[in-house]
Amino acid sequence: MNVAAASNVARFVAEPIAGGGTSADEWEQWQEPLPPLPLDQCPALVVVAPHPDDEALGVGAAASALAARGVDVHTVIVSDGGAAYPGMSGAEQTRLVERRRDESLTAAAILGLPVPQFLGLPDGGLTERESQLADILTGVLADRASGTWCAATWRGDGHPDHEAVGRAAATAVSRAGAVLVEYPVWMWHWAHPGDEAVPWHRAARLTMDSVAEQRKSAAIAAFRSQLHTDVAGRDPILPPYVVARLERVGEVFFR
């Protein structure tokens, strides 16, 4: 049963990325035992990523492991990724959109996945497009077998775009007879071990395949526009400690 999550946008906003958030060491020391994700029960997978890079950060290893077994994996990149930095000129946004799309293509190839489907919806404006996105995802899932897993960002993840994508996916899944699995990305930043806002009772952890794990790390590294200072000297969107934390906590899904 997939229970709707309360929004955690306020908590995400109150915990600036530059402040570091909850450390990877704190998460690892908690060592909460979570049941393994039954990946062998997944007949097909649709990955829904709010921004170009979320597909690698949140689901890269699982998607790669499934594809290596011959399971059909379809990736939907929802936004154009053009609003990573405030105050960008139109030309800068255009270049960033093109670059981020290229990075997603490179990451897909590294993970052994088909070319993603790019919807090109406005970065930072997915809440306003939630109904439209639910209709699109309903069509994507309707073309696949009943019981297909739809992996989307958790509805309580904190980032407004992530939560909107999760809600739209939940609506689409209920229409199409699919199975919703939600993956957190920014939760690891603002939440704390044992946090009551997190549905740990629905959580399952992917048992990492070493090859898939290596491919995931390489795929994440492909998103250079998010990992490095840009030509205008702006700080990385994903500082090293954010990426290291995501890699160390592994892939967790709410079912």
Cα gap 48→82, rounded to integer Å: 18
**Dihedral over Cα of 93, 237, 100, 76: its sign:** negative
Domain map of the chain by residue range? 38-254
Query: The pTM is what?
Result: 0.96
User: 6 phi and psi, to 5 degrees?
Assistant: -70, 150
Q: Are 126 and 164 in contact (CB under 8 A)?
A: yes
What CATH superfamily is the domain 38-254?
Answer: LmbE-like (3.40.50.10320)
pLDDT at residue 251 in the model: 98
Cα gap 217→21, rounded to integer Å: 21
Token pair for 110: 């590294």
Cα gap 150→162, rounded to integer Å: 14
pLDDT at residue 2 in the model: 63
pLDDT at residue 165 in the model: 98
First to last CA, the chain: 7
Query: Each residue's pLDDT tens digit in the chain (255 positions)?
Result: 466 779 999 999 999 999 999 999 999 999 778 999 999 999 999 999 999 999 999 999 999 999 999 999 999 999 999 998 888 899 999 999 999 999 999 999 999 999 999 999 999 999 999 999 999 999 999 999 889 999 999 999 999 999 999 999 999 999 999 999 999 999 999 999 999 999 999 999 999 999 999 999 999 999 999 999 987 888 999 999 999 999 999 999 999
pLDDT at residue 3 in the model: 66
DSSP string, 48-74: EESSTTHHHHHHHHHHHHHHHTT-EEE
